[in-house]
Amino acid sequence: MMTTIIAFTVVLGLLIFFHELGHFVMAKWIGIRVERFSLGFGPKIVGYTYGDTEYRLSALPLGGYVKMSGENPDEPLKGQPWEFGSRTVWERTRVVLCGPGMNLVLAVVFLGLPFFMGRQVPAYLQSKPVIGWIDANSPAEKAGLQIGDLIIS
């Protein structure tokens, strides 16, 4: 039970991380100031600040968020180019869509990974079907099959 909970939390954490990373990277690329990148909600467990951004791990691991300057409609806009609300509709749309877009990329990578890794092919699929043994008094023995016979149909 505990293994299932831990596995669930790790997988959900990875999905959330890549989703929020999509928003984060596009916002930074466009030039929007990101104030906080958080995995989880609630009280901060651990975190550090680098540049204008606080990176944190929070107590409730069922989500995450990227807090951008000027994103909250209750905040008055200063008209600065680094504010989310001051950017064009197309730029804001790109920031919003990059979260789900990263989830799509992650799905394609994880679904495609087994095909690139290859797999071990069972020997019976690579070799011809040849009789290796026959049990005494079996239907095969009564039919006249012998060890080494090749099955062709």
Total Cβ atoms within 10 A of residue 20: 20
Structure tokens at 115: 């095909």
Strand-pairing partners, residue 37, are 55, 66
Which of 74, 65, 9, 6 minimizes the C-alpha distance to 36? 65
Q: Which residues are catalytic?
A: 20
Strand-pairing partners, residue 53, are 50
